[in-house]
Structure 1
Amino acid sequence: MTQSDDDRIADLEARLRLDDPRFTHGFGQGRPRRPREYRRGRAWLAMTLALTAVVVGAVLPHGLLLAAGLVGAACAVNLFDTSHQRRLRQPRS
């Protein structure tokens, strides 16, 4: 490879290390991990809590809990959208 190709690869490696250190550390250890875009543990937790609030609010006639659960579910759906997160992290030209 030419020197410019080596520089580009080193630059990509440095950016990836800064962006997702857990992902790059996994490659160094021989145990690759999911990239950050595919880790959705917090999103599933938020969705579970919101849907639990919806069900409890519907079973017990409690409108405020039901409404809070619906709003929480709508907010949790946004955590699943990875394209929005990529747009936020892109540097502006």
Structure 2
Amino acid sequence: MAEIDDQRLHEIEARMHRDDPRFAHALGAGKPCRPSEYRHTRAWLLLAVALVVLGTGTALAHGLLIAAGLVLAGVAGELFDPERAVRRHRNRPPRS
């Protein structure tokens, strides 16, 4: 391989390790796991809890439970976004 190709491969490897170190380590060990974009276990659990809370609030006609269920559903929806880590680090306020 040409030196330019080796350099590109090393850049790709470094970027992959920086973006998702768990996936990069597992791939290097020969036991690949799902990339972080496809790991949504916490989001699904939170969405299930949100739906239970929302359903309970609707059945009991309790406004606070309905509001809590809607907020939890919104948080769960935000966890499904694959670009949330990029946006979180993009516009940080300066530290004092």
Q: Judge same fold: TM > 0.5, yes or no.
A: yes
CA distance in 1, matches of 2:75, 2:16: 28
CA distance in 2, matches of 1:17, 1:87: 15
Q: Which residue of 2 aligns with 1:55?
A: 55
List gaps (5 residues or longer) in structure 1: none
Rate the CA distance shift 1:7–1:88 in 2: closer, same or farther, 3 A: same
List gaps (5 residues or longer) in structure 2: 91-96
- The alignment status of 1:17 with 2:17, answered yes or no, reads yes
TM-score, with length taken from structure 2: 0.80
1:78-89 equivalences in 2 (<5 Å) = 78-82=78-82, 84-85=83-84, 88=87
Rate the CA distance shift 1:70–1:89 in 2: closer, same or farther, 3 A: closer
Count of residue correspondences: 90
Shift of 1:65: 0.6
Q: CA RMSD in A?
A: 2.1
Shift of 1:87: 5.0
Q: Which residue of 1 aligns with 2:67?
A: 67
Percent of aligned pairs sharing the same letter: 49
Q: Which residue of 2 aligns with 1:5?
A: 5
CA distance in 1, matches of 2:63, 2:40: 29
Rate the CA distance shift 1:38–1:58 in 2: closer, same or farther, 3 A: same
Q: Which residue of 1 aligns with 2:33?
A: 33
Counterpart code for 2:4: S
Structure 1 stretches of at least 4 aligned residues deviating more than 6 Å after TM superposition: none
Shift of 1:90: 9.1
